[in-house]
Amino acid sequence: MVRIPRIATLIGLPLISTAAVAEEVIESSHDTEHHGVRIVQVATDLQHPWGLAFLPEGGLLVTERPGHINRVDDGEIQRLEGGPDDLYARNQGGMLDIALHPDFEENRKVYFTYAQGDANETTVALARARLDDDEPRLSDLEELFVADAAATPGRHYGSRIDFKPDGTLLMTVGDRGDDEHQPDTHRAQKTDDHVGTTLRLEDDGAVPSDNPFVDDDEVRDEIYSYGHRNAQGQFVHPHSGEIWQSEHGPRGGDELNRVEAGKNYGWPAISHGRDYTTQEQIGTGRHAEDMESPIRDWTPAIAPSGLDHYSGEAFPRWEGDFLAGALVRPAVRRVVVEDDTVVHEEEILRDTVGRVRAVQEGPEGHIYLLTDESDGGIYRLEPAD
């Protein structure tokens, strides 16, 4: 387990690290129900890579949880200067997700989330910076938003970020490990802070005027949805604009949800999961009035992290399917959803590349994976010859 109390010495000071990338075909033809898949290792020796974003000029940005942001391009991994100096890496916390501004080609703005704090308590913060055109560095760092989600370091940060078509940003915040046996007082149900929520923000961190609770004095204005345990997969549907998330449950009860404004997703008042020790049902049952039940629950748990919607041409028989990464029983789940119902599911790459932290379609229609290991890597799925 990587434990680094402060990361200023790693990403807040001038430091450039360059390493060669040697692509390697791991498997030339991996069978699935519809397509043969070639598995290519794009990069390795990354420390718990967490999020990725594709650059329009080619290459990609990849975060490493201990506190790094890297550019991977033209056979090189370059560690970028200019990150936050208040990042705290411990257990599940550290440098987390990354996304490009919708107008990145004009403004070069990169957004990222990270655990902020110290050994006593941490929360999750959102920042942005400008990616320099010619140098491996970030400049003009701005802290945009700090979630009111302070807790003992190490657990349930959530922290996937995506832009909606209207230019606003969605950010998930986990329940920070609050006591799941106290649903009446659990922070994910109280809405007076940001624990266990999906937040919707303007691109400068401000509150959109049409957020669902801006006129409710008892709910924080940034909240878009609540009652979440720890959503680490998210995408905005490219055609419908729907928001989909995959979310960690306790022992079992991992969830796939279609997230809507103002809705309560139930944690921990309702759950398909059980207590790790006693095996007793969490909450009062699986359904309740005015609470949303999942579209799909995974029991036994798969620990979902990373979620995308496939719309490329490289794998035509997967068009419209969801791709969900899994950290437990490591694999990628291909999920077919019709009218808010899962009608088919296929497990691919089981125990082939490792714990899948992120899954994302690339600009050429290939699929990229990050593996959450101390020597994690970037993998690309291509059609087999």
Task: Give the integer Cα–Cα distance in Å for 42 and 23.
Answer: 5
Q: How many residues does the chain have?
A: 385
DSSP lists the bridge partners of residue 76 as 20, 73
- Phi then psi dihedrals of residue 317, to 5 deg: -80, 0
For residue 197 the two structure tokens come to 């929520």
Are the CB atoms for 12 and 339 separated by under 8 Å?
Answer: no
Given its phi and psi angles, is residue 69 left (phi above 0), alpha (psi -120 to 50 degrees) or beta? Answer: beta
Catalytic annotation on 344? Answer: no
DSSP lists the bridge partners of residue 93 as 90
Cis-peptide into 268, omega within 30 deg = yes
DSSP lists the bridge partners of residue 143 as 127
For residue 54, CA distances in Å to 304, 309, 355, 361 come to 22, 16, 21, 9
Are the CB atoms for 122 and 88 separated by under 8 Å?
Answer: yes
Specify the DSSP class assigned to residue 317. Answer: G
Q: What sign for the dihedral angle of Cα 7, 55, 71, 14?
A: negative
- Phi then psi dihedrals of residue 2, to 5 deg: -80, 125
Task: Give the integer Cα–Cα distance in Å for 174 and 152.
Answer: 13
Place of tokens 């919607």: 309
Selecting among 156, 194, 309, 366, the annotated active-site residue is: 156
Given its phi and psi angles, is residue 159 left (phi above 0), alpha (psi -120 to 50 degrees) or beta? Answer: left
Are the CB atoms for 188 and 228 separated by under 8 Å?
Answer: yes
Closest Cα to residue 321, out of 353, 343, 354? 343
Task: Give the integer Cα–Cα distance in Å for 307 and 232.
Answer: 8
Specify the DSSP class assigned to residue 282. Answer: S
- Phi then psi dihedrals of residue 239, to 5 deg: -105, -50
The residues annotated with a catalytic role in the active site are: 156
